[in-house]
Amino acid sequence: MSVAAKKSRLSGQGRLESRWGIILAMPAILGFLIFTIGPMIASFFFSLTDWTIGGRPSFIGLDNYRTMVKDELFWKSLSVTAYYTVGAVPLGLIIGFALALLLNQRVRGLSLWRTIYYLPTLVPAVASAVLWIWIFNPDFGLLNSLLRQAGLPTSQWLYSEEAVVPSLIIMSTWGFGNAMVIFLAGLQGVPRHLYEAVSIDGGGAWQRFRHVTLPMMTPTIFYNLVTGVIGTFQVFNQAYVMTQGGPNNASLFYIYYLYRTAFTESAMGYASALAWVLFMVIMLVTFLLFQNARRWVYYEMAGAR
């Protein structure tokens, strides 16, 4: 067979493989276009309209966004969500990292302990909410019972404007399992020879943690930080099941306010505008996190960037 014939045959095989690749990927591509890009485009259009469920959209331009600037509940929900994020994300990172360090040790029954600590993450959101409603009950809840036995002052927890968001931040620690597993995977990827080098130089446990574990884990910490921030900006279940945004809108999370605007007040146009503002806020916060990451995230092959 001549060289030209071989090239033609290989070219034909390449085109055939390309066609089959596109055909096999088509369900995923169509799903992305129909169920993600399509609704996003539609929601942007509806954000420029005055539309209630059952009615016909009426184009009003940027009026929904202008209304938002004067909407006290919009600013309230944004501040409540930011407050929750600032409290829940660092706490979840610290607890998840600490437990991952403990579960990375060589102890008997390690697989059992890992399973036990991860199990709370598998509990359905509504079941977790019902459990924590009992724990936070000011009359016969577990937390106030423990505080009484210790001679400490009790709290109204979910029924207090000042305590409701801190209460939900405490509850957020229940879901540390996902971050813990990712931290654990990162810890097992730290090269052992680095620990040996520190030990040879006379370093102890703190030096190994400070100069090896922490720098090598910064990419994993950064990943959990970004996903944690995005997740907390979209918190909904707690407000919907436990507080309904109360008391006095003290736990009016942004997504719950968006849901209430869309499906209780039927203001779909304004709710779409709220969704796009949340999208821009998350994009801005994520961009700032990536810009700041260059100062402290360490990559083994390239140093800090």
Same domain for 89 and 167? yes
What's the rounded mean pLDDT across residues 66-75?
95
Beta strands in 195-247 (DSSP E): none
pLDDT bucket at 169, cuts 50 / 70 / 90: very high
According to the model, what pLDDT value does residue 110 have?
84
Q: Answer yes or no: are the C-beta atoms of 69 and 277 closer than 8 Å.
A: no
Same domain for 92 and 32? no
Does any domain span residue 60?
Answer: no
Close Cβ partners of 102 (under 8 Å, ≥ 6 residues apart): none
The domain total for the chain is 2
Predicted TM-score (pTM) of the model is: 0.88
Same domain for 288 and 147? yes
Cβ burial, residue 6 (10 Å; 0-12/13-18/19+): exposed
Same domain for 147 and 116? yes
Same domain for 157 and 267? yes
Residue ranges making up the domain that contains 15: 3-46
Here the CATH number for the domain that contains residue 252 is 1.10.3720.10
Whole-angstrom distance, CA of residue 243 vs CA of residue 174 = 18
What is the Rg, in whole angstroms, of the alpha carbon atoms belonging to the chain? 26
> How many Cβ atoms sit within 10 Å of the Cβ of residue 7?
10
Q: Answer yes or no: are the C-beta atoms of 62 and 48 closer than 8 Å.
A: yes
* C-beta contacts of 187-196 below 8 A and 24+ residues apart: 187/100, 187/101, 187/104, 187/213, 187/217, 188/104, 189/216, 190/216, 190/217, 191/216
What's the rounded mean pLDDT across residues 287-300?
89
> How many Cβ atoms sit within 10 Å of the Cβ of residue 198?
19
Same domain for 77 and 169? yes
Does any domain span residue 153?
Answer: yes
Does any domain span residue 55?
Answer: no
Judged against a pLDDT cut of 60, whether residue 300 lies above it is answered with: yes
Same domain for 22 and 88? no
According to the model, what pLDDT value does residue 15 have?
78
What's the rounded mean pLDDT across residues 45-51?
94
Does any domain span residue 64?
Answer: no
Judged against a pLDDT cut of 80, whether residue 285 lies above it is answered with: yes
What's the rounded mean pLDDT across residues 204-218?
90
| Phi and psi angles of residue 36, each rounded to the nearest 5 degrees, phi first | -120, -65
Same domain for 81 and 129? yes
Please name the residue that has the structure tokens 């977790």. 128
According to the model, what pLDDT value does residue 274 have?
96
Whole-angstrom distance, CA of residue 225 vs CA of residue 293 = 11
Does any domain span residue 293?
Answer: yes
What's the rounded mean pLDDT across residues 71-82?
96
Q: Select from 74, 78, 242 the least CA-distant residue to 157.
A: 242
Longest dimension (CA), the chain: 93
What's the rounded mean pLDDT across residues 18-42?
90
The full length of the chain comes to 305
Does any domain span residue 27?
Answer: yes
Tokens standing for 298? 């360490």
Q: Nearest 10 degrees: CA dihedral of 108, 114, 115, 119?
A: 140
Same domain for 119 and 222? yes
> How many Cβ atoms sit within 10 Å of the Cβ of residue 282?
14
What's the rounded mean pLDDT across residues 286-302?
86
Whole-angstrom distance, CA of residue 162 vs CA of residue 154 = 13
Type of residue numbered 86 = V
According to the model, what pLDDT value does residue 78 have?
96
